[in-house]
Amino acid sequence: MSMEKFPSHIEDIANKIISIEGRATVYQAAERMLVNKIGCIIITENEVPVGIVTKSDLLSRVIVADKDPKTTEIRSIMSTPL
C-alpha cells in the first residue's frame, strides 16, 4: 500500500464509526447497531467518545441481567475507558 492512500483509508474507517449519546436507551443503541450491521457502538457524552458497547455486552449486561432495554440507558452498560 502506498503512503498516499493511507490517509484516505483512515478517513474511510473514521466515516464508518457509529456512535450514540450515553443517555440513549439500550434499545435505541441495539436498533442502530442492527440497521448499520455493526457489532459494537461507541458511546459519547457531548460528542466525546467515552465508552463502547458490543453485542456480547447487550447479551450479558441486559438480556441475562434481566434489564429492560427500553428504559436502561446505554451508558450504564458501556465498557470504559476506550
**Strand, coil or helix: what is 45?**
strand
Q: What does the pLDDT read at residue 4?
A: 58
For 18-76, which CATH class?
A: alpha beta
User: Whole-model pTM above 0.85?
Assistant: no
Q: Along the 82 residues of the chain, how does pLDDT read in single tens digits?
A: 445 555 666 666 666 789 999 999 999 999 999 999 999 999 999 999 999 999 999 999 999 999 999 999 999 999 999 8
d(CA 43, CA 38): 14
Q: Where are the domains of the chain?
A: 18-76
